[in-house]
A and B are shown apart, each in its own frame.
Chain A
Amino acid sequence: MNSIWLHPELSDEIMKDEEIFNRTPSIILDIVAQKLDITKLVENMGKVLTNSEATNRLKGMRFFTKILKEMPKNYLTEIQVNFISKFYIDRLKDHHSIIPAVLDGYSAIIEMVNYKMENCGEFLVALFREVSCQSQVRQDRYNIYLIIKTLMEKNLDYMKNLGPDFVYGVISAIEGERDPRNLMFLFNFLPHFISNIPLGHLNDEMFDVVSCYYPIDFYPSSDDPAAVTRQDLAKALAPCLCATPSFGEQCLILLIEKLDSSLRLAKIDSLHLLRETCATFKPESYAPFLKTLWASIHRELTNKSDDELRMAAHEALSSLVKNISVTVNTDQAFENFVKGIIISMQTAIAEATTLAQFTQATRVLLTTANASKESCIIVTNSMIPATIAYYSFNNTPKLQHAAIEFLGDMYDIAKYWKATQELASQLDEIPQLCLTAVSQTSKEFQIAGLKTLIRVLPVLKSDLIVPFVEVLIHNVKHAQDNDLLSVSVEAVHAIAMKYPEEIMSLVLKGKCDLEHLTEDKVGLDKRLNLLCNLASIDEFTKIIVEEMLTIITKNKDDADKVVKALSASISNTSLYSQEKVTQIESDYGLVDSVIIWLLKEIADTTAPESLAHGYSLVATTISNLPEAKQIAILDKHTQNILERCKEDEVYFLMLESLYNSLHQSVHNSSFHEVMMLALNLSLRSEQEIIRSTACILIAHFLNKAEYGAKFEVLYETLKTYLSSCNKENIDSMCVRLISLYGWITKALILRGSDMFLFWLQKIMVALLNPECCSEGAKAIKLILSYSPDCLTDKQHCRISLLYRQRMFQTFAQLTEKLSNMDKRVKEAYLLSWAYILEKAPKSVLNSEAFKIAPLVIESLEHDHQDLLLVMVDILCHIIQSNQVVIAGSLQTILPRLVKLSTYVKSMDVRIKSLQCLYEIANVYSTTLLLPHKQDMLLDLAPSLDDKKRLVRNMAVRARTRWYLIGAPGEAKEN
C-alpha cells in the first residue's frame, strides 16, 4: 500500500482536502509500526508548514498538532521532542491566527514522557513576549493557564527557579480575566502557585491582580445550563487572597474596608475571608488591626435580624482568637484583645433587659472561650465571678436562670480544654451559686440550679452535699411537679456517683431510712422511685435491692408499690444496662421473688393494675437476660403455671410475661402446649384482656420462631387448630377470629414473610362483608399501630424496616378491582385506608398522590370522626407538598372543607380542615384561587365566632390568608 503521507504530496493534500484530518490514526499506526519516520513526515509536510499563506500554515499546524495529540505519549525520543518543541516555540512568533493550534500542540508536547523541563523556559519567555493572553479567545486563554499548571505539576522546583520574569508573565497573562469558568480554574490553581513560587518584589502586583475581584459581584445568566454561581467563585477566591503570609497586611486592609461596606454580601464574604486567613497568616499580621477588626466583628455579632451574618461573625471571631492565642506568652496584644471582648460583652450583659439580648452577649463570650485554651482561661477567670455577682444584682428571674445556665456552659468549655485544674478556684464557686438557686422556692430556679449542678458535679465539694441533699430529698418527697421531681432524682443520682458514702449515710440511713421505709406512708411512691434509681449504682445495688425483695416477699401492704417502682426503673435502659439486670437477677433472684409474690396475690384476687406491674417487671427482667438464664427460668416455672392455668385462666397472664420477651433461639418442650393454650384462650376466653394477651403471645411465637422445622410445626399447629374451629362455626367467634388474623398478619409482615398475604386476604373477606366490616377495619388498624408492649425489638422480635410501605402496596393491589360497595362497607374500606395512610411514610404519600387523592376527597363526605381526622390530615400533607391532583379538584374540595369547618362533633376536625384551607391559600397559584376568594371569605366568617378558641385561632389564620390572595403586598411569586 502506498499511502499519501509517505510522499511530499501530503502537503498539497492537507491544503486541498479536509478529509485527510480523519486519517491521522492510520498515520500514527504507520509511525508506530516504523513504516514512517517522524522526521520524514515533517519533511513531507514542509511545504504546507512553510507556506506563504497564513491559512495554509494554520492547516499545517493543525494537522501536526492533531498527530502529536494522538501519538502515544512515550513514543518520541528526547531529541525528537526537543526538536519539535523548538519548532513550536518558533511558531509562537507566527501570525496570530496560528497561535491557537500552537498552544494546543504545545500542551500535547508537555505531556510527552521525554519532554525536558529545560525547554519550557524558552517557551514561556516566547509565550509571554509574543502572545497577549487576554486578546485570545476563552478556550486559548484556558490552554495557556493549563500549560502553566501542567508545567508546575511536572516539575515544581524547576519552575521556582524561573525567577521574577515568569511571575511577571503569569501576572500579565491573568490580569483582566473575566470569564467565570476561567476564573474558577484560576482561583483553584492560584493558591498553589502563590504559595509555592517565590513572588519577590511582585508580591503587591500579584495581590492586586487577585484582589480586584473581591468581593465577587456576579450573577450567572439565566439560560446557562451549568452556571458558575457567585457562591462558587467567592468560595474559590478566598484561598487566593490568603495563600501566602506575605499578603497579610494588604489582605487585612482590604477585608476591613469591605467589612464596613453597606453591602450584606461584602460583609459575609469578608467574614468568611477573615476565617480563612487565620489558617495561613501569622499572628503578627493581625496585631495592628485587632481594634478595628473587633469593632467590625462586634457590629455584626449584634445584628438583630440576619442569622447568616451573625453566624459568619461568630466563626470569624473564633478563628481569629484561635490564631492569635499562640502569642499569649510573648505579647500582651492577645490578652488585651480578649479583655476588650469581655469588657464590651459585660456592658451588653449589664444592659440586657431581655433573654435574647443576654444570650446574644454570652454566646459571643462562649465563642471566644471555645476558640482556644488560653482564651478559655481568660474568659472563665473573669466571667465566673462576674456572672455570680450578676446573679445577685439582677432580679429578673429569666435572666438569672440564663446566668446559671451560662455558668454551666463555661464549665463545659473549661472541661473540654482540660483547664479545670488551672481554673479550680473559680469553678468551685459554681456549686455554691447552684445551692442558692436551689434553695429558692420557685420551681424554675430549682430546675435551673439542679441542671447546672449536674453538669458541674465534678467540682462539687463535700461540704455542700448536706445542704443539697436536704433540699433534694425534700423535693423528692413533696414535689408535685414532674419535671422538678425527675431532675431532683437525677441530681441525687449524680451526687451518689461521686460521693457514694455520703449519700449512703445521708439518704439510705437518714432521710429515706431503708429499715423504716414503710412506716411512713406519705410520699412512699416517690421515695421508692428515688431508691430504685439509686439501686442502679453498684455501691447501692446490694443494700437497696435486698431490702426491696424483703418487702416484696414479706410485707403485703406495700409490696405493690415497690414492684411498680422497680418495674418503672428497670425498663429505663439508660439507668439499667443488660449486664446490670442480669447481675441483679443472678445475685438476688428477682424473678423468683416476684413470681412468688404474684402467685400469692392472684390467689388473693388483688387489683389487676398492681398485678400488671408485676407482669411487666418479670417481662422486662427476662428480656434483659442471656438465653441460658431465660431457659432456666422457664424450666423452673412453666409446669407449675401451666397446671394452674387449667384451673383459672388468669394465670395465663403470668405465663405470657414469662414467654413474651424470649430470645429468638430459645425453645423448649413446653412451647407446643403453651401455643395450644394461647390459641384456645384467644378464641374462647370470655375476658377481653386474656384474649388479647393470648393473641400477642401467638404473634410473638410466630414472629420469633426460626424458619425451618420449628416454624413449620408452629404454623401447622395454628392452621390445624383454626380449621377445627371453622367446623364449629360459632357466631360470636367471628369477631375474635378476625382480631386473631390481624395479629397473625402483623407478626408475619413484621418478620418480612410473604405468608402474611394469605391472612390479609382473610381479613379482606371480612372487610367486604357488611356484617363484620368494621371488625376488618379494626384488624387493619391493629396491624399498623405500634405499641411499646408487643412486637418490639426490646422483646427480641424481628422487625423489617419497610413493613408499613409493604402494607400500603399490598393493600393497594388487593383493592384495585373493587367497586360497588355497600355504604357500611365503603366506610370501613375508607377507614382501613385511613389507618394505612396515617402510618405510611410521607415519601409514599408524595409519590402515590394520584392514587390517594380520590380516596381522601371521597372520605370528606363521610360522617365518621376518626376517618375524617386522618384523612384531613393527609389532605393537608398532600397540599403542603403542592400536588397538582388537588389543584384540579379545588371546586370539589373547598365546599367539603368549608362544611367540615363547622363539624359539630369534633373540634380537631374543624381545626384540621381550617388548616387545610389555610395551606391551600398558601400553596396554590393565585390564578387558581382567585375565583374562589370571595366565596371563601364569606364561608370562613362563621368559624371566626366558633365556640372553641383553638378553632377560632386557625380560622383567623385561614381567613386573613385568603384576604391576601391576589391583593397587593402578597408575597407570592405566581
Chain B
Amino acid sequence: MAKVADNINPLIYEKRSEREVTSTDRDEDVADDFDEREIFDMIRNINDPEHPLTLEDLRVVEEGNIIINNKENSVHVRFTPTIPHCSMATLIGLSIRVQLLRALPSRFKVTVTVSEGSHASEHAVNKQLADKERVAAALENNNLVQIINQCISTALAG
C-alpha cells in the first residue's frame, strides 16, 4: 500500500479561464512583454505529486504570488502548500523551478520560495530551493527526475 497522502481531502478551487487572445496578441508589430499571467500559465497545470489535481486547483500557485521584472530579468514565484506540514513542499518547489528553467529564456533569474507563514519549515525549504548546487544534485537523481517529469508532463496537455 502506498504512503497515505498528507492532506487526504484537499479543498479544490475554481480554475481560471484560458487567457483570451486579444487583437494586440495577433498584431505582428507589437512586442509582448512577459507578464505574471504568462508565468502563471506555465506552472498552473503542474500536477500535485499526491493528487490527480493541478497546482491551480489546489491554489498552491496564484497569479498574485508571482512577480516579474522584465528590465531586471527576474522572476519570483511564491507558492503556498495546502497544509503547513506538507512533506511535498520541496518537491513542489523543485517542480516549479525545473519547469521555469525549461520554459523561460535563460536571461531570467528565477527564485522560488514558500509563501511567508504557510509552512512549518519554511526557512529550510527556501534554503534548499535557492541552493543551485542542491538543485543540480537533485536533478542527477533518476527517481526524483522521474517524479518531477511526471508532475510536469501534464502541464503540456493544457
Which A residues have a C-beta under 8 Å from some C-beta of B?
Answer: 304-305, 353-357, 398, 906-907, 941, 944-945, 947-950, 952-953, 956-957, 959-961, 963-964, 967-971
A970 to B25, CA, bound (A): 32
**Out of B52, B53, B150, B152, which one reaches A960, CB within 8 Å?**
B152
Given contacts A956-B42, A960-B152, A968-B142, 18 further A-B contacts (CB under 8 A): A304-B53, A353-B14, A354-B13, A357-B12, A941-B105, A947-B31, A947-B32, A948-B28, A952-B32, A957-B156, A960-B102, A960-B103, A960-B155, A964-B149, A969-B147, A969-B149, A970-B153, A971-B153
A950 to B103, CA, bound (A): 14
> Does B38 lie within 8 Å of A949, measured CB to CB?
yes
| CB within 8 Å of A: which B6-34 residues | 11-14, 21, 25-26, 28, 31-32
Given contacts A964-B149, A969-B148, contact A959 B25 (CB under 8 A): no
> Does B152 lie within 8 Å of A355, measured CB to CB?
no
Residues of B within 8 A of A398 (CB): 14
A959 to B107, CA, bound (A): 16
Residues of B within 8 A of A957 (CB): 156
| CB within 8 Å of A: which B132-153 residues | 142-143, 145-150, 152-153
Given contacts A959-B102, A963-B102, contact A948 B25 (CB under 8 A): yes
**Residue from A354, A947, A969 having most chain B Cβ neighbours under 10 A:** A969
A-B contact pairs, 24 of them (CB 8 A): A304-B12, A304-B53, A305-B52, A353-B13, A354-B14, A398-B14, A906-B28, A941-B106, A944-B103, A944-B104, A948-B28, A948-B32, A949-B25, A949-B38, A960-B102, A960-B156, A963-B102, A964-B149, A967-B145, A968-B143, A968-B145, A969-B145, A969-B146, A969-B153
**Residue from A356, A945, A949, A963 having most chain B Cβ neighbours under 10 A:** A949
> Does B107 lie within 8 Å of A945, measured CB to CB?
yes
Which B residues have a C-beta under 8 Å from some C-beta of A?
Answer: 11-14, 21, 25-26, 28, 31-32, 38, 41-42, 52-53, 99, 102-107, 142-143, 145-150, 152-153, 155-156
Residues of B within 8 A of A953 (CB): 38, 41
Given contacts A305-B52, A956-B42, A969-B145, contact A944 B32 (CB under 8 A): no
CB distance from B91 to the nearest CB of A (A): 13
Residues of B within 8 A of A971 (CB): 150, 153
Residues of A within 8 A of B145 (CB): 967-969
CB distance from A440 to the nearest CB of B (A): 21
CB distance from A263 to the nearest CB of B (A): 14
Closest to B14 in A: A354
Residues of A within 8 A of B104 (CB): 944
CB distance from B50 to the nearest CB of A (A): 13
Residues of A within 8 A of B38 (CB): 949, 952-953
Residues of A within 8 A of B102 (CB): 959-960, 963
A211 to B38, CA, bound (A): 56
> Does A969 lie within 8 Å of B99, measured CB to CB?
no
> Does B25 lie within 8 Å of A964, measured CB to CB?
no
Report the 8 A-B pairs with minimum CB-CB distance, sorted nearest first. Answer: A969-B149, A968-B146, A945-B105, A969-B146, A947-B31, A949-B32, A354-B14, A956-B103
Given contacts A353-B13, A963-B102, contact A970 B21 (CB under 8 A): no
Residues of A within 8 A of B149 (CB): 963-964, 967-970
A740 to B107, CA, bound (A): 56
A145 to B49, CA, bound (A): 53
CB distance from A507 to the nearest CB of B (A): 35
Residues of B within 8 A of A944 (CB): 103-105
Residues of B within 8 A of A956 (CB): 42, 103
A512 to B14, CA, bound (A): 43
Q: How many A-B residue pairs have CB under 8 A?
A: 76
Residues of B within 8 A of A963 (CB): 102, 149
CB distance from A334 to the nearest CB of B (A): 32
> Does B21 lie within 8 Å of A950, measured CB to CB?
yes
**Residue from B26, B28, B142 having most chain A Cβ neighbours under 10 A:** B28
CB distance from B65 to the nearest CB of A (A): 20
> Does B106 lie within 8 Å of A960, measured CB to CB?
no
CB distance from B32 to the nearest CB of A (A): 4
CB distance from A227 to the nearest CB of B (A): 31
A356 to B15, CA, bound (A): 9
Residues of B within 8 A of A906 (CB): 28
A960 to B149, CA, bound (A): 10
Residues of A within 8 A of B142 (CB): 968
A304 to B156, CA, bound (A): 21
CB distance from A958 to the nearest CB of B (A): 9
> Does A907 lie within 8 Å of B28, measured CB to CB?
yes
A953 to B28, CA, bound (A): 15
CB distance from B86 to the nearest CB of A (A): 19
**Residue from B14, B104, B143 having most chain A Cβ neighbours under 10 A:** B14
CB distance from B48 to the nearest CB of A (A): 12
A956 to B152, CA, bound (A): 12
Closest to B155 in A: A960
CB distance from A70 to the nearest CB of B (A): 62
CB distance from A472 to the nearest CB of B (A): 28
Closest to B22 in A: A949
A971 to B103, CA, bound (A): 20
Closest to B149 in A: A969
Residues of B within 8 A of A947 (CB): 31-32
Closest to B142 in A: A968
A956 to B26, CA, bound (A): 18
Residues of B within 8 A of A950 (CB): 21, 25-26
Residues of A within 8 A of B52 (CB): 304-305
**Out of A357, A945, A961, which one reaches B156, CB within 8 Å?**
A961
Residues of A within 8 A of B148 (CB): 969
A305 to B145, CA, bound (A): 25
Residues of B within 8 A of A967 (CB): 145, 149
Closest to A952 in B: B38
CB distance from A493 to the nearest CB of B (A): 30
Closest to B35 in A: A949
A964 to B156, CA, bound (A): 11
A950 to B30, CA, bound (A): 12
A353 to B15, CA, bound (A): 11
Residues of B within 8 A of A941 (CB): 105-106
> Does A964 lie within 8 Å of B42, measured CB to CB?
no
Residues of A within 8 A of B103 (CB): 944, 956, 959-960
CB distance from B139 to the nearest CB of A (A): 10
Residues of A within 8 A of B155 (CB): 960
**Residue from A952, A959, A961 having most chain B Cβ neighbours under 10 A:** A952
A968 to B149, CA, bound (A): 7
CB distance from A844 to the nearest CB of B (A): 29
Residues of B within 8 A of A355 (CB): 14
A947 to B99, CA, bound (A): 20
CB distance from A54 to the nearest CB of B (A): 57
Residues of A within 8 A of B42 (CB): 956
Residues of A within 8 A of B150 (CB): 969, 971
A353 to B103, CA, bound (A): 32
Residues of A within 8 A of B105 (CB): 941, 944-945
Residues of A within 8 A of B41 (CB): 953
Residues of B within 8 A of A952 (CB): 32, 38
A969 to B145, CA, bound (A): 7
CB distance from A123 to the nearest CB of B (A): 54
Closest to A918 in B: B156
A355 to B99, CA, bound (A): 29
A944 to B39, CA, bound (A): 12
**Residue from B28, B38, B102 having most chain A Cβ neighbours under 10 A:** B102
A898 to B70, CA, bound (A): 26
A907 to B21, CA, bound (A): 14
CB distance from A954 to the nearest CB of B (A): 11
Closest to A961 in B: B156
CB distance from B5 to the nearest CB of A (A): 13
CB distance from A926 to the nearest CB of B (A): 13
A968 to B140, CA, bound (A): 11
A304 to B41, CA, bound (A): 23
A906 to B14, CA, bound (A): 36
Closest to B144 in A: A968
Residues of A within 8 A of B153 (CB): 964, 969-971
